[in-house]
Amino acid sequence: MKKIVVGLAALASLTFGADVQTTEKPLKAHSELGYVQTSGNTETEAFNFELDIKKEWTKNVVTFEFDGQYATDKNVETKNKYTAELDYGYKFSERFSLNYLVGFKSDKFSGFRYQFYTGPGAKYKAIDQEAHKLSLEGNILYSVDQYEDVWVDALGTQLAYPYDGVVKDHISVPAYKDDYASYRIKGVYDWKILETLKFKQELSFRGSFEQGDKYFIYSKSAINNKINSIFSAGISYKVDYVNLPADGKQKTDRTFAVNLILDY
């Protein structure tokens, strides 16, 4: 019997990874900040902020992620967008865990008042080496997309937020809500190129079970150079793709940023 128990433990270790380390780990935080301001012939201001917080104890893991951008041109909004996700995970091993995800996204220029999604899933560390790490996850979700009103002027031309200096005549498409069953698959790859130089690629695909052409893709490519134990400098390129955008909106939203990074 003892041999059977040892054999099953070894099989579980090979399948899902090593046993979970139950010692409590300190809270970890990672933040990125970028800011640009111009004055004179042009008066613009752009701001982007990211925050990742992670806390582990025994077999539990809680993470919170926030990503936001805000910009103005002569005090008129040109970008107002943020995404927040809260995730709870229970680790069965150092490689495999079950999780529950809650996400909220707001983008005033996308035609969506907000997008909400929540549901259970699983995570697996496919590669866990010093130089290369790859984590995969999948979730079954309940999603809600709240669309904005579509306004037009007296000539029937569609108007876009923030509507400054224009007269809204009437609503051509009233605001409405779409709730549906969906899923999300996500992969995160980390490459430690040098001791102080790291590359990270994040890619996620969220789609509807009910409507095959309703899906959202998010990609972030980033490279960070460590300055000291706390500060790093980094550049990132984000692509936010909506296959069925709201009326009058583009499918792809791109963001390039140069950031100061803090790890503490």
Listed by start position, the domains of the chain span 2-263
Nearest to 110 by CA among 214, 245, 254: 245
pLDDT of residue 22: 58
Measured in degrees and rounded to the nearest 5, phi and psi for residue 117 equal -150, 145
d(CA 107, CA 116): 12
Residues 141, 107 contacting (CB under 8 angstroms):
no
Burial class (CB in 10 A: 0-12, 13-18, 19+), 91: buried
Residues 152, 161 contacting (CB under 8 angstroms):
no
d(CA 208, CA 211): 5
Residues 224, 233 contacting (CB under 8 angstroms):
yes
Strand duo 215-226 + 112-128: pairing: unpaired
d(CA 113, CA 42): 30
- The secondary structure of 102-122 as a DSSP string is EEEEEETTTTEEEEEEEEEEE
Q: Which whole number is the average pLDDT over 202-211?
A: 97
On the question of pLDDT at 8 being above 50, the answer is no
60: tokens are 């539990």
d(CA 235, CA 224): 7
- Mean pLDDT is highest, among 1-5, 163-167, 171-175, 243-247, for 243-247
Q: Which whole number is the average pLDDT over 159-179?
A: 83
Q: Quickly tell me which residue has 């809270």 as its tokens.
A: 27
pLDDT of residue 5: 36
Report whether CATH 3.50.50.60 matches the domain 2-263. no
pLDDT of residue 19: 61
pTM here?
0.88
Q: Which residue has the higher pLDDT, 100 or 6?
A: 100
pLDDT of residue 12: 44
**Preceding peptide of 245 cis, ω within 30°:** no
On the question of pLDDT at 173 being above 80, the answer is yes
Q: Give tens-digit pLDDT for 20-60.
A: 665 678 999 999 999 888 888 788 999 999 999 999 999 99
d(CA 101, CA 208): 16
Q: Quickly tell me which residue has 């019997």 as its tokens.
A: 1
Measured in degrees and rounded to the nearest 5, phi and psi for residue 19 equal -60, 155
Q: Helix/strand/coil (H, E, C) string of 64-99? A: EEEEEEEEEECCEEEEEEEEEEEEEEEECCCCEEEE
On the question of pLDDT at 17 being above 60, the answer is no
Q: Give tens-digit pLDDT for 105-152.
A: 999 999 999 999 999 999 999 999 999 999 999 999 999 999 998 888
On the question of pLDDT at 90 being above 90, the answer is yes
pLDDT of residue 37: 87
d(CA 175, CA 153): 17
